[in-house]
Amino acid sequence: MSLLEVNQVSKRFGGLQALADVDLRIEVGAIHGLIGPNGAGKTTLFNLITGLYTPDSGQFSLDGKRYRPQAVHEVTKAGIARTFQNIRLFKDMSALDNVLVGRHIRSQAGVWDAIWRSRRFKREEKALREQALALLDYVGIESYAWHRANSLSYGDQRRLEIARALATEPRLLALDEPAAGMNASEKKVLRDLIERIRADGRSILLIEHDVKLVAGLCDRITVLDNGRVIAEGTPDAVQRDRRVIEAYLGA
């Protein structure tokens, strides 16, 4: 049984058919790539899966159960966390606080707990802090825990965003162009991180333009062009697919 199944999903924006009859299957523990030329509909599909848009037609299922991504925050509770193409960190908050916000839905303290500083609250805060620091360490930026998020380097900001997404304990981590703007060595670090995340039991959906990175990392790749799936399969198969080559180079 696959983790996430997208069936015949379509989305139209005014005159533009952004997605038409798109299918996608992500297996548990897989790293699944989503590629395609600019404007193919990758981010639109992303946004549909994560509840930012509502599909015109089509169905989703998560863990075999019908899944309707209505509200963005429900999606996260259901176990899908994402990063953004243009990095949307909480800029003036510290790196640690950013990750702590990620822990929000997996913690309980409410207004009363906060006001009375109950023992439960104190215990939870301590635990949250430890978890957050551990996550920062996991992605390799623990030394910047107290630094303002927008003072981190570009690569570190990307890693922070991943740490924040991981803090929500997702089953599926959806990364929107995580390697954009990175040099070769940074990409290597990122690749190792993604492999480690998969090894630790999560599935990953990845939009990327770097074909080499995608080919080396992903188990399966879905290729979109003009809102339709034109190929799906292992990296080798996809790279050799005639339609894919045409889409990227132009017929």
Partner 1 sequence: MDTFLQQIINGLVLGSMYALVALGYTMVYGIVNLINFAHGEVLMIGAMVAMSVIALLADASLPGWLILLIAIPVSMLVCSSLNFSIEKLAYKPLRQAPRLAPLITAMGVSLLLQTLAMVIWKPNPKPFPQLLPIDPLDLGGPVITVTQLLILLVTALMLLMLMVLVNHTRLGRAMRATAENPRVAALMGVNPDRVISATFVIGAALAAVAGIMWAANYGTVQHAMGFLPGLKAFTAAVLGGIGNLPGAVVGALLLGLVEAIGAGYLGDLTGGVLGSHYADIFAFAALILVLTLRPSGLLGERVADRA
Partner 2 sequence: MKSLAYRWPIFLALAFALLILPIGMQELGAGWVRILALAMLYILLALGLNIVVGYAGLLDLGFVAFYAVGAYLYALMASPHLFETFAAVSQGFPQGLHAPIWLVIPLAAALAALAGALLGLPVLKLRGDYLAIVTLGFGEIIRVFLNNLEHPVNITNGPRGLDRIDPMSLWGLSLSKPLMLGDFKIASVTLYYWLFLALVVLSVLLCYRLEHSRIGRAWMAIREDELAARAMGINTRDMKLLAFALGASFGGVAGAMFAAFQGFVSPESFSLMESIMVVAMVVLGGIGHLPGVILGALLLAALPEVLRYIAGDIQNLTGGRIDAAILRQLLIALAMIGIMLLRPQGLWPGGLAQPGLARRT
Q: Which of 21, 77, 154, 240 binds partner 2 (CB under 8 A)?
A: 77
Task: Write down the residue that tokens 């927008």 correspond to.
Answer: 150
**Do the beta carbons of residue 9 and residue 45 sit within 8 Å?**
yes
Q: Does 131 bind partner 1 (CB under 8 A)?
A: no
| Cβ atoms within 10 Å, residue 64 | 10
Q: Which of 20, 36, 47, 190 binds partner 1 (CB under 8 A)?
A: 47
Q: C-beta of 214: minimal distance to partner 2 in Å?
A: 23
For residues 206-225, which are near partner 2 according to CB under 8 A? Answer: none
Q: Can you tell me the distance from the alpha carbon of 223 to that of 40, in angstroms, rounded to the nearest whole number?
A: 9
Q: Does 107 bind partner 1 (CB under 8 A)?
A: no
Q: Can you tell me the distance from the alpha carbon of 203 to that of 87, in angstroms, rounded to the nearest whole number?
A: 21
Q: Does 240 bind partner 2 (CB under 8 A)?
A: no
The DSSP annotation for 165-220 comes to HHHT--SEEEEESTTTT--HHHHHHHHHHHHHHHHTT-EEEEE-S-HHHHHHH-SE
Q: Does 159 bind partner 2 (CB under 8 A)?
A: no
Q: Does 52 bind partner 1 (CB under 8 A)?
A: yes
Q: Does 57 bind partner 1 (CB under 8 A)?
A: no
Q: C-beta of 128: minimal distance to partner 2 in Å?
A: 8
Q: Does 101 bind partner 2 (CB under 8 A)?
A: yes
| Residue window 166-185: x/- pattern of binding to partner 2, with contact defined by CB under 8 A | -xx-----------------
Q: Which of 7, 10, 43, 94 binds partner 1 (CB under 8 A)?
A: 43
Strands (E), 27-96: 31-35, 57-62, 65-67, 80-82
For residue 229, give Cα distances in angstroms to 15, 18, 138, 223.
Answer: 20, 12, 35, 6
Q: C-beta of 170: minimal distance to partner 2 in Å?
A: 10
Q: Does 243 bind partner 2 (CB under 8 A)?
A: no
**Do the beta carbons of residue 33 and residue 223 sit within 8 Å?**
no
Q: Which residues bind partner 1 (CB under 8 A)?
A: 13-14, 43, 47, 52-53
